[in-house]
Chain A
Amino acid sequence: MTIATHLDPKYVSRGELALGGLSNLAPSLRCASLLTEDGFSVVEVAGKELDSNKFASMASSTQALADAVARELRLGDNEFVIVAAEQGHVIQVRIDGHPLVLAALFSDQTTIGKSLTAARRTARRLKTLLMAQ
C-alpha cells in the first residue's frame, strides 16, 4: 500500500528539521507549512493563530495559479511566489524534485528580500536532507 505523501515519515521528519531551521534563520517568521502540491499540510511551525490546514490549502491554490500564469505567459518555470500585504508577507518555494511546497508567513518586521533568502535556503536544505538515506 502506498503511503500518502503528507504522512510519509521521511517527509515529516526532515520537514520538521528544515522548518525548525527556518525559525532560527528568520525571527520574523509567524508560521510556515511544508505542504503537498494538492494542499495537505505535512509539517507546520508556529502559527497558533492560524488554521494550518486552511493555510496549506490556500498556499496550494496560490502556487498553482502562479504556476499557471507563468506557463500561460511562457515565462518558464515559476521560481517562487510572494504575496506582500500591509502587515506581512507570504513566500512560497517549491522543493525541487519533490511534490512539496514550502509556504511561510513573515511579519512586516523584516524585508521581503531577507525572508525570500531564508525561505529559499530552507527549501535547498530540505532538498539536501531528502537526498540523504
Chain B
Amino acid sequence: MSEHVILFAGPMGAGKTTAIRALSEIEVVSTEAANSDREAADKDTTTVALDYGEISVNAAEKVRLYGVPGQRRFDFMWSILAERAEGLILLVNADAANPVETAIEYVKEFFALYERGGIVIGLTRADLVPEALIEEYANALADEMPDVLIPVFTVDARSNADMTVLLMTLVANVELKQAVGVRAAPARRAR
C-alpha cells in the first residue's frame, strides 16, 4: 500500500483539528489543552503538539493527516512534522485580522513543502465576512511569488466533501510532482 503524508497548518482557530476530524476514517489522535489565550482565539481548547488522522484514497493508497499547532511558539513542532510531509493544506480563517498577509506568511514558512509536493489553501469562515474573494488571495500570492501556483478554495472545515476536494487536489499535485520528478531523474544503469 502506498502512502502520502499531508500536513495541515494555519493560524489558531482556522479549523485544522476540525478538518482532520471531518476527513479521518479513524478516531483522530488529538493533543488539546485548555486554551488560556482567549485574545488569540475564543475557544476552549487548542492543539499543542499534533492531530493525527488517516484516510484511504482507494484500496492501495492511504493518506496520513497531521495537524500542527497554530501558534508560533510551537514552531518546533512545525519543523518536526514538516520533515516527512509531502504537501500542505493551509487553512486560513477569512474573518481573522489580515488573512491575506497571514496566508502569504504561512506559504513562505512552509515553502519547502510546495517544492516537495504542493500547497493548497482553504479559506474557512468565509461566510462570516462581507467579501472573501479568492482572487484577492490569488493575486496577492502572484504578486509576492510570481512563479508559484497555489490553488485557493473557500471551504467549510466541518464538511467532509469540502475537505475531500482540497485533499484530493493536493494529492493529485503531489503525485504529479513525484511522477515528473521520477521522469526527470537520470536513469540508473543496471550493474
Contact = CB atoms under 8 A, between A and B. Distances in A.
B25 interface: no
A61 interface: yes
B29 A60 contact: no
Contacts of A54: 73, 76
A37 B37 contact: no
Given A57-B74, A58-B76, A65-B31, A38 B49 contact: no
Nearest to B46: A38
B33 A40 contact: no
Contacts of A62: 49
Contact of A60 (B30, B33, B38): B33
B76 A57 contact: yes
B34 A38 contact: yes
Given A53-B73, A54-B76, A61-B48, A4 B37 contact: yes
B49 A64 contact: yes
B73 A39 contact: yes
Given A4-B36, A54-B76, A61-B74, A39 B48 contact: yes
A64 B76 contact: no
A72 interface: yes
Interface in A46-75: 53-54, 57-58, 60-65, 67-68, 72
Given A54-B73, A68-B29, 11 more contacts: A4-B36, A36-B33, A38-B34, A38-B36, A38-B48, A39-B73, A63-B48, A64-B31, A65-B31, A65-B50, A99-B34
Question: Sorted from nearest, which 10 A-B pairs have the closest CB atoms?
Answer: A64-B31, A37-B33, A61-B49, A5-B36, A38-B33, A57-B73, A99-B34, A64-B49, A64-B48, A60-B48
Interface of A: 2, 4-6, 36-40, 53-54, 57-58, 60-65, 67-68, 72, 99
